[in-house]
Amino acid sequence: PDKGLKGYYRKYFPIGVAVNTAALSGPEAELIVKEFNSVTPENDMKMGPIHPQENEYNWKNADAIVAFAQQHHIKIRGHNLLWHAQAPAWMFKDSTGKQVSKEVLLKRLKDHITAVVTHFKGKIYAWDVVNEAIDDKPDLYLRNTLWYQICGEDFIAKAFEYAHEADPDAQLFYNDYNSEVPSKRDKICKLIRSLKDAGVPVTGIGLQGHWKLNEPSVGQITEAIDKYAALGLKLQITELDITVRTAPSYKTANQTPPDSTYTESMAAQQAERYKAVFEIFRKYKKVITGVTFWNVSDKHSWLDYRGGGIAGGAAASQATSRKVTKAYPLLFDENL
Ligand code: G3I
């Protein structure tokens, strides 16, 4: 029988991890093979990286991850088919630089989804089809992206339909963060209900799970799972990490805390927190069909480029000029 985390969780759900090609060789690769039985490419299947120009697909990195996973009998989640971030600029413009019409954009979306899903058909068991389409502000419903500006609400249903046509066997997820915050949770439920009422082939909801030590509360997580489960869909925790140390503030920047401020006590609190959330996941094993960590170890986390999880977009874009801030959000430390 399997050892490692995946072995402990064999009766519950696959234990996944986000990977990039750098992780496919060396000590991280050994750890992935030992502990995990699902992988999600962290960036390499997103629209920009995989489809940089209208007539150019870049399969190399994604294929390498798929080959690694297949070689080690690891399941693969595809991430993602439509997002406002990491979308290539050409998608929204014609040859003169003018914004394209709804018809043209949906045609391009269909071409993209059909090509990508067909390329990996039979190898990817679940796709994050639409990522983060809902706005965080309580009084706004859908996020005001180019997709929304050009297509209205339709792009969401269309994305699911195109994906289903290309691979009827793949499970299709709507994926979002802050999905436990009641105002956003209710909007996600509204969206899913409207998709289901219209017969759109959505099979599950991805709760990203970019969490902190005390946020969201166990009560909020449980309540959200109950509400989503009541819609009759499967749930997956798709991008789990638990920030232990937040930077003081990016506004008072250049005050990156020294790494010595990561203490034993923080590590212990994080262990308790991971224990608490996995107790919830096990309790809901009938609805939760996968839990994926957003990276292998504290060596590499997206949070480190954003100030330990508290900084927003502006800070993220400045972060390269600044010392990296460590959030220590993952199961394994920098020495794996
Ligand atoms: O590959 C280029 C490289 O060629 C270039 O020189 C360098 C300079 O900035 O950028 C590199 O691309 C970066 C890419 O990660 C690969 O490292 C992008 O700038 C950077 O923005 C990108 O960040 C990713 C982020 O999504 C994009 O918003 C993170 O790695 C990835 O972990 C993160 O993942 C997202 C999920 O997809 C959706 N949910 C939230 C989650 C965290 O933001």
Alpha carbon 173 to chain centroid, angstroms: 10
Report whether residue 86 contacts ligand 1, using a CB cutoff of 6 Å.
Answer: yes
Q: What is the average pLDDT score of the chain?
A: 91
Q: What is the CA radius of gyration of the chain?
A: 20
Residues whose CB is less than 8 angstroms from the CB of residue 197 and which lie 6 or more positions away in sequence, other chains included: none
Between 318 and 242, where is the model more confident? 242
Q: For 53-62, what is each residue's pLDDT tens digit?
A: 999 999 999 9
Band the pLDDT of 327: cuts 50, 70, 90: confident
What span, in angstroms and rounded, lies between the C-alpha atoms of 182 and 187?
9
d(CA 321, CA 138): 33
Measured between alpha carbons, how far is 8 from 35 in angstroms, rounded to an integer?
A: 10
Residue 127 has pLDDT above 50, yes or no: yes
Indicate if the pLDDT at residue 82 is higher than 70. Answer: yes
* CA-to-CA separations, 4 to 33, 70, 331, in angstroms, rounded: 9, 19, 13
Provide the CA 254 distance to its chain's centre, in angstroms.
29
Active-site residue identified among 239, 272, 279, 334: 239
Residue 85 Cα, ligand 1 centroid: separation in angstroms? 9
Mean pLDDT of 53-82: 98
Tell whether the model's pLDDT for residue 324 goes beyond 90.
Answer: no
CA 131 to ligand 1: nearest atom: 38
Backbone angles phi, psi at 168, to 5 degrees: -65, -15
DSSP state at residue 325: P
pLDDT at 252: 46
Check: complex ipTM more than 0.90: yes
Residue 256 confidence (pLDDT)? 53
Quick count: other Cβ atoms within 10 Å of Cβ 139?
6
Report the candidate in 22, 104, 102 with the shortest Cα–Cα distance to residue 296.
Answer: 22
Q: How far apart are CA 41 and CA 24, in angstroms?
A: 11
pLDDT interval class at 258 (50, 70, 90): low
Ligand 1, residues 298, 302, 324: which to mutate, most atoms within 8 A of Cβ?
A: 302
Asked whether the predicted pLDDT for residue 93 surpasses 90, the reply is yes
> Whole-angstrom distance between the N-terminal and C-terminal Cα of the chain?
23
pLDDT of residue 234: 97
Query: Has 165 been annotated as catalytic?
Result: no
pLDDT for residue 245 is more than 80: no
pLDDT recorded at residue 63: 98
Of ligand 1's atoms, which has the minimum distance to the CA of residue 302?
A: 32
| Per-residue model confidence as pLDDT tens digits over 197-234 | 999 999 999 999 999 999 999 999 999 999 999 999 99
Q: What is the spatial distance between Cα 159 and Cα 113, in angstroms, rounded to a whole number?
A: 7
Q: What are phi and psi of 265, to 5 degrees?
A: -65, -35
208 lines ligand 1 (CB under 6 A): yes
CA of 294 to the centre of ligand 1 (A): 12
Work out whether strand 204-207 and strand 234-243 pair parallel, antiparallel, or are unpaired.
parallel
Which of the four pLDDT bands, split at 50, 70 and 90, describes residue 326? confident
- Cα angle value 247/252/257 (rounded, 5°): 35
Atom 21 of ligand 1: nearest residue by CA position = 86
Q: Against a cut of 0.90, is the pTM above it?
A: yes
> What pLDDT does 254 receive?
52
Give residue 307's pLDDT.
43
SS3 content of the chain, % helix, strand, coil (to 5): 40, 20, 40
| Mean pLDDT to the nearest integer, 314-335 | 67
